[in-house]
Each structure stands twice: as structure tokens, then as C-alpha cells.
């Protein structure tokens, strides 16, 4: 599985943090959540932390889900 990438964050004067993914806003954190996020980014892999906080990461089951009968296109096997 490839490591997440393309995340950036900006910290503003009011203490809020805006997380972006490939230039698009992925989330905004304020108050205690922003403080916890900044502490976690400083102590771990920033890309992985941002992916987890925004919910934008792979769960490992995409390949399995693709072949499930409910997700197959009609007339195609």
C-alpha cells in the first residue's frame, strides 16, 4: 500500500488549522482539536496524520470490494 501524499496544512492566527489535499480543502479544525492535531503532526508522519484526520486514506479493502457481486457492472464478469 502506498503512503498517503498531497496533504498540506495552514495554521491561522486565530488558532484554526485548514487541511488541504491536492489544493482542495479537506477539513478545518478549531480549538482543542486543532491543538491535538498540531501536536500529533509534530510527533508523527505528517502525511499519515493528515490522511487519518480527514478520513481520506485507504482501508485496504478496495480491491476486494471491487470484485464483490454487488459492485460489478451488469453484463460483465
Separation between Cα atoms, residue 2 and residue 42, nearest integer Å:
22
Beta bridge partners of 17: 11, 29
Helix H or strand E encompassing 17? strand 17-21
* pLDDT mean over 55-67: 64
Domain segments of the chain as ranges: 7-56
Which one has a higher pLDDT value, 56 or 23? 23
* pLDDT mean over 21-50: 93
Separation between Cα atoms, residue 77 and residue 56, nearest integer Å:
29
Residue at grid coordinates 481520506 = 56
The answer to whether residue 13 scores a pLDDT higher than 80 is yes
Q: Which pLDDT does position 68 carry in this prediction?
A: 73
Amino acid at each position: 500500500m502506498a503512503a498517503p501524499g498531497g496533504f498540506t496544512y495552514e495554521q491561522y492566527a486565530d488558532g484554526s488549522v485548514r487541511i488541504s489535499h491536492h489544493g482542495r480543502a479537506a477539513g478545518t479544525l478549531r480549538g482543542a482539536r486543532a491543538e491535538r492535531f498540531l501536536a500529533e503532526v509534530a510527533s508523527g508522519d505528517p502525511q499519515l496524520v493528515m490522511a487519518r484526520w480527514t478520513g481520506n486514506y485507504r482501508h485496504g479493502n478496495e480491491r476486494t470490494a471491487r470484485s464483490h457481486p454487488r459492485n460489478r457492472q451488469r453484463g460483465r464478469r
